[in-house]
Amino acid sequence: MSRQVQDAYIVAATRTPVGKAPRGSLRNTRPDDLLVAAIQGALAAVPELDPAAIEDAIIGCAMPEAEQGNNFARTAVLYAGLPDSVGGCTVNRFCSSGLNAVVMAADRIRVGEADVMLAGGAESMSMVPMGGNKVSFNPRLFESNEHLGIAYGMGLTAEKVAAQWKVAREAQDQFALASHQRAIAAQRDGEFRDEITPFEIVERVPNLASREIDLRRRRMELDEGPRADTSLEALAKLKPVFALKGSVTAGNSSQTSDGAGALILVSEAALRRFHLTPLARFVAFSVRGVPPEIMGIGPKEAIPAALRTAGLQQEDLDWIELNEAFAAQSLAVIESLGLDRAKVNPLGGAIALGHPLGATGAIRAATVVHGMRRRSLRYGMVTMCVGTGMGAAGIFERV
């Protein structure tokens, strides 16, 4: 039985502040607790919505094990106070996990299988290292050189992109500096206020005098990655970390981070039923594969594909969140497609704001949705490169 495609609307989009890993403010906070805070923040934005109407929660996570294992999507739903009737599913497409969660939730609505869905992502890179606690490649990987790039570290793939697309070290450092400058200006101007749900950090500290455990509480309201004190001179002093004569450094790479994001998507019927005001409409999504050893170039293929699906031209995009996994791959994508730099990451990107892997897609979706509303823009995109050689891109329309 065929179903008529209907629109999916975002009515709430929020995120936690992003902490630096592994020594930042959120280093001792479990990722499921970060996710709970994001979910509760999204629910608080739409008090008229009956939580029991949510049919399922789809949550992205790039390393779904340990503290973020055991299908933590479901447990976070319950810890957030949602009724038992709300399901939960954890999905993984590495750095695109959070965006894919949004897409999958939207698709359930678009084909008429659901009217209200919860989507998001969460990642603690402080608690679960990149690659997980046990990295185990299939031995077939090493039987030939055909797919050896699957085993490359992300930094090495960035070096290969920098070499192939001739992205100079100075250009990478300039791009990184601009990311920090834009992020600092955005924080100063309150640009993230609409999208961030402040997070209360609870620390347990031994009191040697009383021989008890003291609880210390503090409120975190901003991402802690942006640095006002960085400069081209400081960035230029950093040594390459992935190749002896390379150009990719800690300063022009994304920051390892902790954070979570959550969005609520509904059908047009649910908009009317609960008298909700949509923030944006989900438009289109595309994923494309590229050689694993140059995975960073993935958005170059995914962006045109998503635009074709949406029936749009590149110039129709008003806001582009291009995840800055590395300055090298970001610049290669920008130059290859001729993207308008003024539209790319206007509030800074992952080099300054952080990249909590599986959460980033949901976090940046919240940035796009609220940013377009503040500036009365129509179309926005979230796009990123993805490990093992992929690119993903999702398009949203302000309504």
Active-site residue set: 95, 355, 385
Nearby residues of 166 by Cβ (< 8 Å), 6 or more positions away: none
Residue labelled with tokens 């995914």: 302
CA–CA distances in Å: residue 29 to residues 19, 37, 67, 220, 359: 10, 11, 10, 12, 15
Strand pairing of 212-220 and 116-124? Answer: unpaired
Backbone angles phi, psi at 257, to 5 degrees: -150, 170
Hey, which bits of 237-359 come out as E strands? Answer: 257-266, 280-289, 319-322
Q: CA 54, CA 56: separation in Å to the nearest integer?
A: 6
CB atoms closer than 10 angstroms to residue 176: 27
Distances from the Cα of 10 to the Cα of 1, 3, 328, 384, angstroms: 27, 21, 32, 21
Tokens, residue 113: 């299988």
CA 212 – CA 129 distance, rounded (Å): 32
Q: For 71-80, which contacts have Cβ atoms below 8 Å and span 24 or more sequence positions?
A: 72/31, 72/32, 72/35, 72/122, 73/35, 75/32, 76/32, 76/35, 76/36, 76/39, 76/122, 77/39, 77/118, 79/32, 79/33, 79/36, 80/35, 80/36, 80/39, 80/40, 80/43
Using the CB atoms, write b or e for 216-252: b if 16+ within 10 Å: eeeebeebbbbbeebeeeebeebebebeeebbbbbbb
